[in-house]
Structures are given as C-alpha cells and as structure tokens.
C-alpha cells in the first residue's frame, strides 16, 4: 500500500492519510481582535476538499501580547470559540481532521505595548527589547495555554500543536542562545525545558486528544541547539504524553540556513529513532515520490506541507495520481478526478 495514503490513528483519532497542512500564519484577522474572517472560511476548507488528511490552523495566540502581529488569530478569550468552531465544522465537513497551533510570539511579537521573553534580548535591532518574564508572568502564560486548550476542545479541534519553534516564546526558553536566566527556568537543559514541561502538563489536564509539539531542531549558530540536544527533550516530551514532534528548524536568531528539498528530514529521522517518538517531516517537500520515500524508509511518520499547499490545494489528488493510489473524491468532483 502507498504509505502516504495509509491511515494513522493516535489516541482514537484516525487520520485518513499522512498528509498534513503545516500551520502557516495568514495575518488576515483584520479586525485586530484575533477573530476569524472570511479568508479563513475559504482557505482551510479548500485544502480539505483537496484531500489533505490533517489541517493545522496557523499560530493562534494564547495572550494578546503574544501575537506576532495585530492581525493574528487569537484564542485568549471565549469570544473566539464560535469562529474557530465554524472553521472546524467546515473543514471536517470535507473529510479532514483539524488541529490548532497554540502559540506565544515572545520577543518576536510586534504588537503595541510591553512584550515578554525569558531574557531581555531583542531578536534584532529591528525588534523591540522584551521585558524579562517574572515567575508571575510565567504562571499566567502557562494558565493561558491551559485555558486555550479548553477553548480548542470546545471548538471541536482534533489536535493541539504547541508552538515551540521558530524563535517564539517556548523556543526562546529552550535554547541557551536566548535564555540567559539564572533561576529555575534557565541554565541546565532541564531548567530551560521547564516552561514547556509546565505548559504540556497544563494542557494535558484538560485535553485528552492528540498533542503535537513543533520544535526548531537546529539553531544554526554556535552554542545553540542541535538535533542531538533535542533527543533528551524529546524523551521528556514522550514521557509527558506528547504524541508527535513536528520537526522544523531555525528562526531563533538571525542565521544562514542551508536550504534544499528535505533539508530538515534528517532532523526528524534522528529524533524519531533516538527518542522513539513519532515525528513529522517538513521543509521543501514538494514531490509525492519524495514524501513516499520518507515514509517508506521510516524517516518520519507524517508529511507536513506548507508552501506547496499554498500553491496547490489539491496536492493530495496529484500525489495519488503520481503514486497510483486510489483516494475518495468529493462527490461533486468525481467526474473530474477520474
């Protein structure tokens, strides 16, 4: 059987194939209050019509000051639930499972007012200097993730992904390049992991469906994190009940990244085999044959597509044709999908 179209079940939730739409910021919440707009109502369900098995909504802020921009989606208050539930309903109606990425931008937030980070280090001279988080700030943020998980459950999501990558808050705590704290949240790997541990525990108190974590497995900077460093943290995630690690890289600090098709797959493979946890491969995977190779050789368990699904919402249909796999077409499209 073609592995790309083999179902996968996690905690009783079955995904019809291994194709995942990776979270990508849309910056289309034009009301500046984090609400769903017509853009989202069209964008996400269309990828479900195209055959994608799991669609993960963009980075969705758990606190207002944790937005990357004032046009980010939000899940920091109950008023967001109805709009998010509508996206879930429309997307599931077309055969996909739906996830949401819970996020806090940390020092990369560009909203007005004070922004937070583990240490008062700006991302670059073009970004604001963040305020070092107090223990009270940290506790409030952990609680914000917990409440966001409750809202995600109320909205009907199948998957939560915690955004621990790309230089945002959780990632900033994980790496020694951005975490210069001397308290229990800084220093050793165990201390730097503490915030993600507390967030994961808080989410697990109120959430019993699949839980993913996205990481930046390589900082591409001397003294930063590498896949080998993340093996220990991946083992901790596994012990806490994380089901899959979505393995990305970079964006913690300005750095030159060698980019080529599948440039992050080796990172997913290392973590999968060394930590014994399911992983998702992402990063310039555009060819169905390449995706199939990754799965057939046991290098990852799911294929996360980003920009390729912006170019081609029907990538799953194209992949089925190229790999000679049969997939179920939406009834109105049957005449064109033969």
From the annotation, which residues make up the binding site for substrate? 27, 163-166
**6 near 15, Cβ under 8 Å?**
no
Cβ atoms < 10 Å from Cβ of 288: 21
Annotated binding site: 27, 59, 101, 163-166, 214, 306-307
Residues 159, 223: Cα–Cα separation, whole Å: 33
CB 88 within 8 A of CB 153: no
Distance CA 299, CA 235 (A): 17
Output the six-digit token pair for 73: 């989606």
Q: Label each residue of 249-260 as H, E or C.
A: CCCCCCCCCCCC
Q: Is 259 exposed, middle or buried (0-12, 13-18, 19+ CB in 10 A)?
A: exposed
Q: Give the whole-angstrom CA distance, residue 112 versus residue 53.
A: 37
The secondary structure element, H or E, covering residue 225 is none
- Longest alpha-carbon distance in the chain: 64
């Amino acid at each position: 059987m073609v592995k790309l179209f083999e179902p996968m079940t996690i905690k009783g939730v079955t995904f019809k194939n291994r194709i995942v739409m990776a979270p990508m910021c849309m910056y289309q919440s034009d009301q500046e209050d984090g609400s769903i707009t017509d853009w989202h109502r069209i964008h996400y369900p269309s990828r479900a019509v195209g055959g994608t098995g799991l669609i993960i909504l963009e980075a969705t802020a758990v606190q207002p000051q944790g937005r990357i921009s004032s046009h980010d989606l939000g899940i920091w208050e109950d008023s967001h639930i109805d709009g998010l539930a509508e996206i879930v309903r429309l997307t599931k109606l077309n055969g996909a499972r739906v996830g949401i990425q819970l996020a806090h931008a940390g020092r990369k937030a560009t909203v007005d007012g004070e922004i937070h980070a583990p240490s008062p280090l700006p991302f670059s001279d073009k970004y604001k200097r963040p305020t070092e988080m107090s223990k009270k700030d940290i506790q409030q943020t952990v609680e914000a993730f917990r409440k966001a998980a409750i809202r995600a459950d109320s909205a009907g999501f199948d998957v939560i992904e915690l955004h621990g990558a790309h230089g945002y808050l959780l990632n900033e705590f994980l790496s020694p390049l951005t975490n210069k704290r001397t308290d229990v949240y800084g220093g050793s790997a165990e201390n730097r992991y503490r915030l993600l541990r507390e967030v994961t525990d808080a989410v697990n108190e109120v959430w019993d469906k699949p839980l993913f974590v996205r990481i930046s497995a390589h900082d591409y900077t001397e003294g930063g994190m590498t896949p080998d460093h993340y093996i220990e943290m991946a083992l901790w995630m596994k012990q806490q009940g994380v089901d899959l690690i979505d393995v990305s890289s970079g964006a913690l600090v300005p750095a030159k990244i060698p980019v080529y098709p599948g440039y992050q797959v080796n990172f997913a493979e290392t973590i999968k085999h060394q930590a014994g946890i399911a992983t998702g491969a992402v990063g310039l995977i555009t060819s169905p044959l390449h995706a199939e190779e990754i799965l057939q050789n046991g290098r990852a368990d799911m294929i996360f597509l980003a920009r390729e699904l912006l170019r081609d919402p029907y990538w799953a249909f194209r992949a089925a044709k190229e790999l000679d796999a049969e997939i179920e077409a939406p009834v109105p499209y049957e005449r064109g999908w033969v």
